[in-house]
Chains A and B, each alone.
Chain A
Amino acid sequence: MKRLFRLSFSLALFILCTAFAQTVAVVTPYLAQPGTQFMVEAFEAAAKAKGWTVNVIDTAGDVAAVISRIEDVVTQGVDAIVINVDPAQVAAGLASAADANIPVFGMDAGTDAMLVTNVTSNGYAMATETSSYVVDRIGGAGRVVMFVFDAYPPVQKRGVVADAIFGNYPDIEIVDRITPDVSDGGIADSRAKMEAVLAANPDAGSISAVWAAWDQPALGALQAIEDAGRGAEGIVIVGIDANPQALDAIRAGGNFEASVSQDFNGIGSTTADLVERYLGGETITQATVYVPTTLVTGANVGDFVSQ
């Protein structure tokens, strides 16, 4: 009991001391995911440099709790809120923030009219990087297998760009445009699909490249190609996201040659900068702010080991 009051007194003092600096709440259900962790840590570091108080709230996968926690920090009267969750699912929370005139920023969240802006990577640009890489590696001619997922808008964007770039080369033929079953994580089914494609195209050189809209199908295709004993045919595989498994594969120097790394640290610190600009009175006109991504190949894969 006594201890409770002592704790409350010290907390009250603490709150009094920090009452005059900017207070920003970061709310996400996904803090356990590495990408989110990098973003949040970079945001916290940037905010600390600006002298803000940051309250990071993780609801451990519970999206309704994100709404509740947004309502709580609105009641608390924070200066700004940053979310890392699909804005459409937390519209009730965004509405309560709007009622109280508290700005909400998306950090890799999705574009929404109720957000000041959303900071993320450009899916079109990432797909441009890997499709151009494939075109250059096969000299603008050859047979390409594509792995896409048009049901999920952020990945659908990538496929559209690859279609356009490959379509611009009359000597590039799309052997198959495969949508893998992702319920098992995407690797196993992509591998099975790739095995079928290899069986249907048994001649060495009949497949020039595999373009995958994200890393899992690329890894599945890599397994299929290696297990079929066709690793030496020079089939070029590319993915997107540069997940740790993909980085390992690129480092190993086999068929998996390239992927794209999102700059999660950059997304975090850029979000902090945008919050600062907005609170400083600037109008943010872009509904989405893109942070540049980096093509990862054998040449620079060493730079990405730590991520």
Chain B
Amino acid sequence: MTRLGRLTRRFGTLLGFLIVILFFWFNLPDTFMTARNLLNISQQVSMLAVVAFSMTIVMVMNDFDLSVGSMASLAGIVAALLFSQGSSVFLGVSAALAVGLLGGLINGVLVSLVGILPFVATLGTLTIFSGLAFFVSGGKTIFGRDIPAAFSGFARAGLPLGTLNERPLLLPNLTLVALIVLFLVWLTLEHTTFGRRLYAIGGNREASRLAGVRVRLLRLLAFVLTGLGAALAGLMYASRVASANPTQGAGLMLDAIAAVFLGMTMSEEGEPHVLATLVGVLILGVLDNGLTQMQVDSYVREMLMGGIIVAAVASSSLGKQS
């Protein structure tokens, strides 16, 4: 294969992303490439980003976690229910994260110890977590005075970066959280033995096992981390909408998988890497933001986004065959 071919294959998605950005910049000269809008996009994608980063951890091993969306809903509901009974923000948040850990542990046990295919196991827990969220909340949205201002205020605040056009410019707290998760997942996957072994498992599970990698334990731990990440994203969502509803995280799962796949097109070996996942998340977020500003019909926007995902993965796959 030619050098050029290899480069387009590896960087085709990144190039596509740049074209998308230039396209919006050209069409929305006054409003797209502004500090405020970019910070805005970073906040809008923060919840999806946290789910996608956590999803990357299991996808490194060629596994999936379909339950992340319903875990996000459940975590939001657990925190909101505790708030409505007068718990502190700390207690509500801790309990929700504990639920995430526990849910992830259940997924890990089912996949790794019991040996159920991740698709089937997490499809089952998806339904269980979703049912549980409906059950404990009675199907109702928890909002209003039940949600403490300290919790909902978190998503509306940020680090002051200065003022622009006489309005304060903030680095949103939700963006900060996503950046911290990005750093932690990057550190874990790329710079720890644990992370490298997950990649080894993804490469060849049986060979890893024979080489002395404790495949079962590591897979289990990876699912625990993904569950924790999903719960964190659910809390971020609940804080942003100042309410919790038993279905509100449902849309995160497919978008997160799409983001990881978009990122995988950027890797020589087709492996997921968390920085590439970030590009995938940003592509989805920028498309949403730009197409909305250009007043593209919501349903056309959805079709375009699906089409772009398929096109990116298809071009990368064709590139690999040639």
A-side residues, CB < 8 A to B, are: 1, 4, 8, 11-12, 15, 23, 31, 53, 55-65, 67-69, 71-73, 75-77, 86, 88-92, 95-96, 99-100, 151, 182-183
Contact = CB atoms under 8 A, between A and B. Distances in A.
B205 interface: no
Contacts of B289: 68, 72, 75
B254 interface: no
Interface in B52-106: none
B288 interface: yes
A77 B31 contact: yes
Interface stretch (B192-200, B262-270, B272-280, B291-299): B291-299
Contacts of A60: 251, 298
B308 to A, nearest CB: 11
Interface of B: 19, 23, 26-28, 30-32, 34, 36-37, 40, 43-44, 47, 134, 138-141, 143-144, 152, 155-156, 167, 237, 240-243, 245, 247-248, 251, 288-289, 292-295, 297-299
A65 B250 CA distance: 12
Contacts, number: 104
Contact of A63 (B28, B34, B243, B293): B243
Nearest to A91: B242
B299 A58 contact: yes
A64 B19 CA distance: 27
B156 A92 contact: yes
Given A12-B26, A58-B299, A183 B292 contact: no
B239 to A, nearest CB: 9
Nearest to B145: A88
Given A8-B26, A56-B298, A58-B298, A73 B292 contact: yes
Given A62-B248, A65-B288, 4 more contacts: A12-B26, A77-B30, A86-B243, A91-B152
Contacts of B243: 63, 86, 88-89
Given A62-B248, A71-B44, A89-B143, A76 B292 contact: yes
B44 A63 contact: no
Given A64-B237, A73-B293, A75-B293, A92 B248 contact: no
A91 to B, nearest CB: 6
Contacts of B299: 58
A77 B292 CA distance: 12
A76 B237 contact: no
A90 B298 contact: no
Nearest to A86: B143
B36 A64 contact: no
B155 A11 contact: no
B95 to A, nearest CB: 21
A11 B24 CA distance: 11
A61 B247 contact: yes
B241 A75 contact: no
Contact of B292 (A12, A15, A62, A72): A72
Given A64-B47, A95-B156, A53 B242 contact: no
Contacts of B28: 76
